[in-house]
Amino acid sequence: MKRIFTFVLCIALLTGFFPSRALAASPWPDNITIQAEGGIVMDADTGTVLFGKNIHNAYYPASITKILTAVIVIERCSLDEMVTFSHNAVYNVEEGSKSAGLDEGDVLSVRDCLYALLLQSANESANALAEHVAGSVEAFAELMNAYAASLGCQNSHFANPSGLNDPNHYTTAYDMALIGKAALNNETFMEIDSTLYYDLPPTKRNREGLRIYPGHKMIKKNMPEYYSGALGGKTGYTSLAGNTLVTFARRDGMTLVAVVLNGHSSHYVDTRAMLNFGFKNFLTVSAADFDTDFTSVDNDMTIAGLSPTGLSGLELEPNMKITVPKDATFDAVTSQLSYDLTASVPAGSIARVRYYWNDLNIGYTYLTVKAMSPDQVMLPAAVVSLAESASQEPAAGVLPDEGDSVEPSEGRDEEGLIAPLTAALSDETVPESTAGNAFVRFFRSVPVVLWLIAGGILVAGAAGGTVIFLRQKNRRKEDEARMARRQRRLERLQEAGISTEQFEFMVQQKRSLSARKNSHGSQRKELL
């Protein structure tokens, strides 16, 4: 029953089976104000921005920079590696800035240095770790910028590992939330960051060792700023940055990251307001569970001769989340599908489904296909015969790819939605449900989708021969890249247990049905 539902769900999402869903969204909650110049609260599971103020404006971050420093160090080092403090690490800091009392020549483990960095906000520890990882503070700053960019940060630049004042050291509330989101997913970071005290070993200046405590007051039960559910975070302050604060909190299955930039001694009040706003007004749910729009669909429906049980390998990844207002109905959620996947997607994924509340991205999940034996997908004999006799289509196993153009007359949805069962394709179709003779007529009318550019162009004495040669060389490279992508996608289908005949049938089904949709003037939203 669940497989039937998931198949119907995917077809409904792709074909606009429930067009009224796009019209049902109510206003996004916004009953909150903060005093800081910049701030944000984000659902850490989905990346949804629940509230933001000047979230893309650049500000000085101060010591919340150390979150990024710690994540990079943890990913690149063993905690038992030993770090020697250089003269530059200890003394290349602003006078009076935060310190753990470490001196030139002290030797601590990476673990000790990370506790000093996150709990005590020790600037000499930030410098020493940077030198240990990259050889110099400057080289480490390059790693910081590259790592931030990999997380999607677009308006930040980091010049040092500590956050001390530098005109080229800045970030935004949104970028800092992305960095905080990455830190939340690092178990070692969270173990260190949530610690209430830690004993540093004896050093030159502290012969008995030194017990250190976190600076973040919202995780301390004996402080008036304490916040139930707070997991950790990082404080920051310089005269130029003002008060900055990153806070992680979890309640009732929802995990939030709040960021305050350029606060004016209101950073804890602002953070509490944003966290309360998030927990009061929103909830995080599994995308695969919002099924109220689809449970009433007839389970005995057929698509071009195939029953839903014949394609029962389709399902939505159950562990991916979306964020919705608490007073919402799921009718307010719209969705879009994309075939553009990275190497880190869950096994069996063939497409990504993004969910929206009006124009706000509220999360995504993956459409996956389980491995199916040949007898699980039964094709009508007439359909198999049609696929074998379609001389105008690509040969078996040859799949169209990103670089190949498809004319609208070939049945392509001009707005770009992609059928989940044909994720190996690039510019293919997202059809509506239909069956029988209409499928056959449209199937026979589809012309050639892909012509491979083959062969080389010999350079002769003709004018412009050099230009032609260079163009052909570039085309050959593109062809090789396309063929490599085709092979990867073909392997993905094979791993899913879908044969070439089954795949070709699905392709023709999608094209013919999309052509019929286009003829009725149906509209689609473009993919991101």
pLDDT in tens, the chain (528 residues): 444 444 444 444 444 433 334 434 568 888 899 999 999 999 999 999 999 999 999 999 999 999 999 999 999 999 999 999 999 999 988 776 888 989 999 999 999 999 999 999 999 999 999 999 999 999 999 999 999 999 999 999 999 999 999 999 999 999 999 999 999 999 999 999 999 999 999 999 999 999 999 999 999 999 999 999 999 999 999 999 999 999 999 999 999 999 999 998 999 999 999 999 999 999 888 877 764 333 333 333 333 333 444 444 567 777 788 888 887 766 778 877 777 777 777 777 777 788 888 888 888 777 777 554 444 444 334 333 333 443 343 333 333 333 333 333 333 333 333 333 333 333 333 344 444 444 444 444 444 433 334 444 444 444 455 555 556 666 676 667 666 655 665 666 565 555 555 555 555 554 454 455 444 443 333 323
What pLDDT was estimated at residue 286? 81
Q: Regarding beta strands 282-286 and 321-325, do their DSSP bridges make them parallel or antiparallel, or are they unpaired?
A: antiparallel
What distance in Å separates the CA atoms of residue 244 and residue 33, rounded to the nearest whole number?
17
**pLDDT reported for residue 13:** 46
Dihedral angle of Cα 270, 275, 278, 283, to the nearest 10 degrees: 170
With the CA atoms of 220, 221, 227 and 230 taken in that order, what torsion angle do they form, in degrees rounded to the nearest 10? 50
User: Which pLDDT score is estimated for 259?
Assistant: 98
Q: Which of 87, 111, 133, 131 is nearest to 200 (CA)?
A: 111
At residue 457, the pLDDT reads 45
Q: Write the CB contacts of 316 (distance below 8 Å, at least 6 apart in sequence).
A: 6, 9, 10, 287, 288, 353, 365, 366, 367, 368
Q: What's the pLDDT at 76? A: 96
Q: Sign of the CA dihedral 515, 517, 523, 526?
A: negative
CA–CA separation, 90 and 109 (whole Å): 16
Q: What is the DSSP letter of 477?
A: H
Q: Are strands 210-212 and 198-200 parallel, antiparallel or unpaired?
A: antiparallel
Distance in angstroms (rounded) separating the CA atoms of residues 170 and 226: 28
Q: Concatenated DSSP letters for 316-338?
A: E-TT-EEEEETT--GGGEEEEEE
Smallest Cα–Cα separation from 143: which of 68, 201, 200?
Answer: 68
DSSP secondary structure string, 499-523? -HHHHHHHHHHHHHHHHHHHHTT--
Active-site residue set: 63, 66, 121
Please list, in sequence order, all residues whose beta carbon lies within 8 angstroms of the beta carbon of residue 400, skipping any fewer than 6 positions away. 394, 406, 425, 426, 427, 428, 449, 450
Residue 458: per-residue pLDDT = 43
